Structure 1
């Protein structure tokens, strides 16, 4: 039986991330500027998409744990391909949000299954696997956001065409190279009964819950960068192309910074739990800096701080969850990682749109800082207490 090779997971992650980064940076701007919809309505669409993605993440984790991940992963990618093809021809209201939501649902199923598949690799440490997955995803962000700033000037539909083609390539790689080694084992009824007894410990569940609580709040703040910040920057006279280049900077820092973090990790053996809280602290600083940002230079500084927090914290979150969860519940807890991110993306744009229209951007950033700081402290207390146990 063929074995799953990490390099094919990384290539697939690169291609899918490049395709995805053609769409998500422009969603709010496209709805607001091209379709003439309000920020609140754009936030509502993203809210609904993220809620649907929560369901997709849960379903993906469940299907993986049941041993039927491969066929559902392929079906989910095929659904995304269909939605992206339709977007080439039907990108007005209400076709655009409907197809966007369908693509998000299918993508959540596929991504959760692929993350669980990555956690099943035994010849590498979980932290190394997810660091590399994250690294390749951000190379995709660099490529995607760099190109999208040029493509959008030609025709918005070209974005959907390129994304569609990339996902076709992604499907071919998943079909031919993604091997689910655990499927045959899970078909053995005796082994399944044995695995059922291996539940995740309560202490581990508490630690996972605390870390994911803060992760959810950070994703709420991060979602502002991907939605309302684009409109805010344009209101300050900063062009859309400069906004897209911030994401290019984000990707470049990740690409350069990730190997450095990995080297320091191998050299000094930095604990993953410590790393995640250092990253969380940087997010607090970054979100606080947005309160005072009024020109492009300040937004750039804030993005740089955000990116360092992201580089340090985001790759180790699924690795911590993979190490703390039992093999029989691997899919479920990787699904919870995706659910936390999706919930943040669900609430973030909608909350941001409402707060901005009723009050101000400054109040929005202050709220995000307070939420992230409070949950970080709570999570740290929970983690320290349960690690001692």
Structure 2
């Protein structure tokens, strides 16, 4: 009998299912806290911040688990997904204040562990290159975003509880798939021994690469801090301009459609024809994110928000799958879990601090001040990476 291991097709199937479930919930989190549970934007920001801390803790733990207990990763992954699934199940019945926030915390902790473990497992798949694997995962996640955000506007009009029910069913389905198919790839186990660690296992990532990795992570933090405004505070801003929740949700459908149709074209152009380096794709993507927030300073109509979303989505296509792929190429085999965990942690930090700082800036000043702060943060982080990479990646 052939030895079981995770195949790319099941990895992509899992990414799709989780993405559909998650995209039913996250576009509504701030709206639910503000409109249904009657909490102000600062309180909503605090809730998102604390929940992101749980995600960070889970991501950190997931990285440690992968590097230290790789042979048993499947068991840990099943436990993490079960925890998240249980939390979503309880949300069906207990979704008031503050129970909603507490169960969301449990969901995020389980999600943090599972996301890092899945991303780390992805580095062991050798059917395609690391760049291709993460691009395909990202593609399937955004097919899920299209489906999920297309459904969310219709489901919420029936009864918001159906959001939790649908989410639970999808997570349960993912749990079954992980149980049946998420075995550790042979390439990830090839240097793992039950006794003393081999040289491959203990070999550390060169310091100059570590410096570049943390500059990349700093930029990822800045991008996620800005991007989190779209998933939180901008929903309230658009409502204040007379734009409905349904139309806000449709923006994420547009986001997913641009990714589904635009990512293959951009990858063909930049990877196959122009052979653009991974780090240069990140520079270009970060510049588009910054440009998108510049246009937000003048956005007043729905059409303007659609155009801005398209600009930011193009930046997302170039950065989100490229960052874990570049970090993978810079890190050694024995530290894959550590640095993939760091990718999840810095992204979660951005999503944690972004809504909280955003809520404070909006309540204390204005949305325009928030947009200017995000523009400055992303521009500074981009320049820092450009400087650090120029020095450290040019060394022989």
TM-score with structure 2 setting the length: 0.96
Deviation per residue, 1:267-297 (Å, 9 max, x gap) = 3322111111000110110011111111111
Structure 2: distance between partners of 1:165 and 1:343 = 28
What runs of 5+ residues in structure 2 fail to find an aligned partner?
Answer: none
Structure 2: distance between partners of 1:60 and 1:266 = 33
The equivalent of 2:225 in structure 1 is: 220
- Is 1:230 the counterpart of 2:230? The answer is no
The equivalent of 2:174 in structure 1 is: 170
Residue among 200, 208, 214 paired with 1:203: 208
Structure 2: distance between partners of 1:329 and 1:156 = 42
The equivalent of 2:334 in structure 1 is: 328
- Is 1:260 the counterpart of 2:256? The answer is no
Deviation per residue, 1:55-86 (Å, 9 max, x gap) = 11000011011123211110010011110110
Residue among 261, 284, 288 paired with 1:282: 288
The equivalent of 1:302 in structure 2 is: 308
* Segment of structure 1 superposing worse, 254-263 or 347-356: 254-263
- Is 1:156 the counterpart of 2:172? The answer is no
- Is 1:381 the counterpart of 2:373? The answer is no
Q: Does the aligned pair in 2 maintain the 1:199–1:326 contact within 8 Å? A: yes
The equivalent of 1:10 in structure 2 is: 12
State the 1:387 CA deviation.
1.1
The equivalent of 2:358 in structure 1 is: 352
Structure 2: distance between partners of 1:326 and 1:38 = 45
Structure 1: distance between partners of 2:379 and 2:173 = 41
Structure 1 SS opposite 2:82: helix
Deviation per residue, 1:194-218 (Å, 9 max, x gap) = 2344110111111111111111011
Q: Does the aligned pair in 1 maintain the 2:191–2:198 contact within 8 Å? A: no
The equivalent of 2:349 in structure 1 is: 343
Structure 2 SS opposite 1:167: helix
Q: Does the aligned pair in 2 maintain the 1:60–1:69 contact within 8 Å? A: no
The equivalent of 1:53 in structure 2 is: 55
Structure 1: distance between partners of 2:385 and 2:362 = 28
State the 1:172 CA deviation.
0.7
State the 1:371 CA deviation.
0.8
The equivalent of 1:25 in structure 2 is: 27
State the 1:29 CA deviation.
0.2
State the 1:231 CA deviation.
0.3
Q: Does the aligned pair in 2 maintain the 1:39–1:353 contact within 8 Å? A: yes
Structure 1: distance between partners of 2:225 and 2:41 = 16
Structure 2: distance between partners of 1:145 and 1:318 = 25
State the 1:183 CA deviation.
4.8
Deviation per residue, 1:112-143 (Å, 9 max, x gap) = 00000001112311000000000000000000
Q: Does the aligned pair in 2 maintain the 1:218–1:372 contact within 8 Å? A: yes
CA RMSD of the aligned region, Å?
1.1
TM-score with structure 1 setting the length: 0.98
* Segment of structure 1 superposing worse, 98-107 or 118-127: 118-127
- Is 1:114 the counterpart of 2:118? The answer is yes
Deviation per residue, 1:233-258 (Å, 9 max, x gap) = 00111110000000000000000011
Deviation per residue, 1:18-56 (Å, 9 max, x gap) = 000010000000000001111100000000001111111
Structure 2 SS opposite 1:89: coil
* Segment of structure 1 superposing worse, 67-76 or 52-61: 67-76
Structure 1: distance between partners of 2:5 and 2:89 = 32
Q: Does the aligned pair in 1 maintain the 2:5–2:181 contact within 8 Å? A: no
Structure 2: distance between partners of 1:102 and 1:55 = 11
The equivalent of 1:126 in structure 2 is: 130
Deviation per residue, 1:131-176 (Å, 9 max, x gap) = 0000000000000000001000000000000000001110111111
Structure 1 SS opposite 2:157: coil
Q: Does the aligned pair in 1 maintain the 2:63–2:339 contact within 8 Å? A: yes
Count how many residue pairs are aligned between Structure 1 and Structure 2. Answer: 388
State the 1:374 CA deviation.
1.0
- Is 1:314 the counterpart of 2:320? The answer is yes
Structure 2: distance between partners of 1:242 and 1:3 = 42
